[in-house]
Amino acid sequence: MSPSKKPSAYAAAGVDIDAQEEALRRIKKRVRSTFTPGVLSDLGSFGGLFRPDLAGLEEPVLVASADGVGTKLEVARRAGDFSTVGRDLVNHCVNDILVQGARPLFFLDYVGAGVLEPGAMEQLVDGVAAGCTENGCALLGGETAEMPGFYREGDYELVGFIVGLVDRPKVLDGSRVRAGDLLLGLPSAGLHTNGYSLARRVFFDLLELAPGDRIPGAETRETVGELLLAPHRSYLRVLEPILDHPALHALVHVTGGGLTDNLPRVLPKKHRAEIRVGAWPVPEVFHLIQEHGEVDSAEMFRVFNMGIGMVVVIDPQGAAEIMAALRAAGRKAEPIGTVQAKGSGVVYDWPPAWPVPEDG
């Protein structure tokens, strides 16, 4: 008669190794499906091995970035749906290196939890894998951490790390931007992954709505959860055809800080961006947040993307070709402003129908 199995002391402390193994077992096949020809290692290695194809590159440069999903994860937790935030994470990171002209090679993820539930982890990593597949990069590896007492039960942290490749002569760093350049805006799909602390306060605290509720008085028939969990768009496939176009001077990923803080990152000294508010349709979700949260217009444009997920800075002489290429790739670009050789930062031209900021 064999002795009874002694209860796990680690499980009693809140960490279930068996649950982690079950979660990993579920996702292995999905992760392997993202592997590209450059992957040299399999899952389970201490480090991922990748051999990039450097053919045709004069001076290969690696571009790396890291980011998280932020408190959009709290919306996912409340909605009981973690299936979209993994794709958000990958697309955000892809866009961050794309603005420097880089194409993604591979991705790494980190999932932290108070109590790791295999089903939730499977949704998270499956979303990451789907995002990697859509963007042509390998999910090379990752890490899971179950830390009871650090994260609350039901909470998840999701962080991503991306590495891409660009030829040094083709790096986009803002050095080509000139006065008179045209600013084209590519539409966002909503909040993307920024401003969720304010959005949650408006919808969940002030309006006392749940993720499954519809918003009273809103034109949209989407629920709060559907509005807030709309995926962060990747602009890789749209912008790839114009990355080598001589009229392309810079790209700006509109993330935290909105147009106000992100556009100056590519502007020369003593230059400013002049933006025509009303030149593009602002999605209803932003109007709802501004109205019900009583948020000043200037703050709205600094917290949220306001419907513009990516800005393409171009020589106006190449505008027709570039706009046609973007349309052919499936995205219509709206001219939203210009670069001017005076002052600095971003200046907004407010139409009469728009609530003018308190500071004018």
Partners of 310 in beta bridges: 186, 253
Please provide the CATH number assigned to the domain covering 15-170.
3.30.1330.10
d(CA 214, CA 294): 20
Which tens digits make up the pLDDT trace of 257-314?
999 999 999 999 999 999 999 999 999 999 999 999 999 999 999 999 999 999 999 9
Q: What is the CATH number of domain 182-349?
A: 3.90.650.10
Residue 109: pLDDT over 90: yes
Q: Which residues of 6-24 are buried (b: 16+ CB within 10 A; e: fewer)?
A: eeeeeeeeebbeebbebbb
pTM of the model: 0.92
User: Tens of pLDDT along 197-245?
Assistant: 999 999 999 999 999 999 988 898 899 999 999 999 999 999 999 999 9
User: How many Å apart are CA 266 and CA 100, to the nearest integer?
Assistant: 10
Q: What is the pLDDT of residue 15?
A: 62
Check: CB of residue 260 under 8 Å from CB of residue 116. no
261-264: long-range contacts (C-beta < 8 A, 24 or more apart)?
A: 261/302, 262/311, 263/183, 263/311, 263/346, 264/344, 264/345, 264/346
Q: Tokens representing 242? A: 């114009």
Start-to-end C-alpha separation, the chain: 83
Locate tokens 């290692």: which residue? Answer: 41
Q: Please check the confidence at residue 66 and state whether its pLDDT lies above 60.
A: yes
Q: What is the DSSP letter of 36?
A: -
Type of residue numbered 102: A
Give the span between the Cα atoms of 194 and 69, in whole angstroms. 8
Distance CA 286, CA 301 (A): 10
Main-chain phi, psi angles of 285, to 5 degrees: -60, -35
The domain limits of the chain are: 15-170, 182-349
Which residue's entry shows tokens 């290196």? 97
CA distances from 336 to 273, 320, 333 (A): 10, 15, 9
pLDDT at site 1: 46
At 151 the pLDDT is 86
305-350: per-residue pLDDT in tens? 999 999 999 999 999 999 999 999 999 899 999 999 999 999 999 9
Instruction: Report the candidate in 90, 82, 91 with the shortest Cα–Cα distance to residue 109.
Output: 90
pLDDT above 80 (res 170): yes
**What is the pLDDT at residue 19?**
63
**What's 281's DSSP letter?**
P
| More confidently predicted of 150 and 183 | 183
